[in-house]
Each structure stands twice: as structure tokens, then as C-alpha cells.
């Protein structure tokens, strides 16, 4: 097995994360493992599976209708402030009220620290911060 080949495959997979953005973590891990196995054997399969899993876990951006809705919804009268920084990929604190998007139940939103954010309702994970 050639360590250099494994490194090249890992680099290519990391560089092409956007190509895997539409995949799920499972699909990314399986695809990465298959590619790694072809190039680097068993160790390549392990490295490829890890890299593919990371690439597959990239969060898809919400549709424009969802972004427009969150931009236009009136802000609540009470301001919500948390100490934590709002970060894409991280869940909002449990103290933040998350509101569903009426026309698309795959998404919800919140206004935190004067930032409008789109979240995944089940995990409360931030998908996008609206600028």
C-alpha cells in the first residue's frame, strides 16, 4: 500500500467537499470508503470512509422561499439574547424558541442576538445565518 496514494485520495476528497454536499453522511462515507479501497486498499477504505462521511455531512442551504420568509417575518417584541455565538452547524441553546416555517416543515427559524437564523427543527442545528 502506498501512503502517498492514500494522502492524495484524502486530499482530493477534502478538496471536492462541495461535490458531496448533496449526499448524506452515510452516502458520503460509503462512497469515500469505496474510492479509498480502490486506490489504497483497506487503509484507504478507512481513510476514504472518514473523509467521505465528513464531506457528506455538509448542510444543504435552504430554498430561497425559506430564506425570504425568514427575512420578512416580523421580529418578536422581546429580544432574545444568548451568551453563545450562533454558529452554522451547531445547535441553538434550549432556551431559544424555534418557530416552524409554515410552508416547509423541514426548516424552522429563530431571531437570536439580532440575527435571523434558519435551523433544522429536530436537532435545532443552525443551517444558515441570514445577513
CA distance linking residue 96 with residue 113, whole number of Å: 10
φ, ψ of residue 22 to 5 degrees: the values are -85, -5
Residue 60 counted as domain residue:
no
Domain encompassing residue 86: 81-130
Task: Give the predicted TM-score (pTM) of the model.
Answer: 0.56
CA distance linking residue 75 with residue 119, whole number of Å: 16
Instruction: Give the domain CATH number at 98.
Output: 3.10.450.160
First to last CA, the chain: 48
Helix H or strand E encompassing 112 = strand 108-112
Domain count, the chain: 1
Residue 31 counted as domain residue:
no
Residue 90 counted as domain residue:
yes
Least confident of 4-8, 23-27, 52-56, 74-78: 23-27
R_g over Cα of the chain: 19
109 burial (CB, 10 Å; 0-12 / 13-18 / 19+) is: buried
Q: Express each pLDDT in 71-123 by its tens digit.
A: 999 988 888 999 989 999 999 999 999 999 999 999 999 999 999 999 999 99
Q: Express each pLDDT in 32-85 by its tens digit.
A: 555 555 656 666 555 555 655 554 455 688 999 999 999 999 988 888 999 989
Name the 3-class secondary structure at 12.
Answer: helix
pLDDT given for residue 14 in this prediction: 44
pLDDT given for residue 47 in this prediction: 54
CA geometry: angle 20, 2, 35, nearest 5 deg: 25
Q: Which of 117, 107, 17 is nearest to 57 (CA)?
A: 17
Report H helices in 16-128.
25-56, 64-72
pLDDT given for residue 130 in this prediction: 93
Amino acid at each position: 500500500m502506498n501512503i502517498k496514494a492514500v494522502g492524495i485520495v484524502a486530499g482530493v476528497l477534502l478538496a471536492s467537499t462541495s461535490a458531496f454536499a448533496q449526499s448524506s453522511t452515510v452516502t458520503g462515507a460509503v462512497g469515500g470508503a469505496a474510492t479509498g479501497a480502490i486506490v489504497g486498499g483497506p487503509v484507504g477504505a478507512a481513510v476514504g470512509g472518514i473523509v467521505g462521511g465528513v464531506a457528506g455531512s455538509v448542510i444543504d442551504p435552504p430554498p430561497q422561499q425559506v430564506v425570504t420568509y425568514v427575512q420578512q417575518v416580523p421580529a418578536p417584541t422581546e429580544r432574545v439574547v444568548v451568551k453563545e455565538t450562533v454558529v452554522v452547524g451547531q445547535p441553538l441553546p434550549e432556551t431559544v424558541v424555534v418557530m416552524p416555517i409554515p410552508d416547509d416543515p423541514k426548516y424552522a427559524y429563530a431571531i437570536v442576538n439580532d440575527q435571523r437564523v434558519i435551523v433544522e427543527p429536530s436537532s435545532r442545528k443552525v443551517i444558515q445565518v441570514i445577513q
